[in-house]
Amino acid sequence: MKILLITVVLITPLFFLRGYLEKRSIYFPLRAIEATPKDLDLDYEDVAVKTKDGVQLSGWFIPAKNPRATILFSHGNGGNISHRMEKINMLSFLNLNVLIFDYRGYGGSMGSPSEEGLYLDAEAMYDYLLNKKGSIPPEIIAYGESLGGAVVIDLAGKHELGGIIIEGGFTSIKEMAKRLAPFIPPSVIKSKFDSLEK
């Protein structure tokens, strides 16, 4: 009985700590905005959008003079939108509108990141393009960088898009963990970001 009690006392905190550690291993948000499109002499609008679950998100809409399409940009798991200035500049140079946003918990967006939350964040920005900017689905190209690739693939499975671009994507969190941390049993990983399944 004593061994069982000791086991429960030792394992219970690990169970609750697991979620915290997993979150700290996947998301690396930064709050401080270190640059804006104005630093590149680009016109832009601050964007504020509320998700279906009530989380306030922030982002930028950078209009092109004669846009060929609109990019909905989902960044990777680290930093925030201000760390993607080179990509914003390149996409603007290609005559594309750009809507780039911070996930919940990143930059000026409220809340805390989670897999389901990131999916809701992308949907809210997609709806913003349709309802506030008058975009039509065939003109929206979703661009996903690393973790953003999984977010874009989820969005593409639910909504019409003109195309998707995946940069540095992965098949699933469990596959990434197998490669980067093979000592972690896949059964303890709660997050999926399972792009291959979608």
Question: What is the band of 10 on the pLDDT scale with cuts at 50, 70, 90?
Answer: low
Res 20: pLDDT: 61
Question: Is the per-residue pLDDT at 36 higher than 90?
Answer: yes
The Cα 69–Cα 42 span in angstroms is 17
Query: How do residues 78-124 score in pLDDT, each as one tens digit?
Result: 999 999 999 999 999 999 999 999 999 999 999 999 999 999 999 99
Domain made up of 2-188: CATH architecture: 3-Layer(aba) Sandwich (3.40)
Q: Are 28 and 78 in contact (CB under 8 A)?
A: yes
pTM of the model: 0.90
The Cα 24–Cα 18 span in angstroms is 10
Res 182: pLDDT: 84
CA 33 vs. chain centroid, Å, equals 17
Query: How do residues 124-170 score in pLDDT, each as one tens digit?
Result: 999 999 999 999 999 999 999 999 999 999 999 999 999 999 999 99
Average pLDDT, the chain: 92
Res 116: pLDDT: 98
The Cα 159–Cα 179 span in angstroms is 31
The Cα 190–Cα 181 span in angstroms is 15
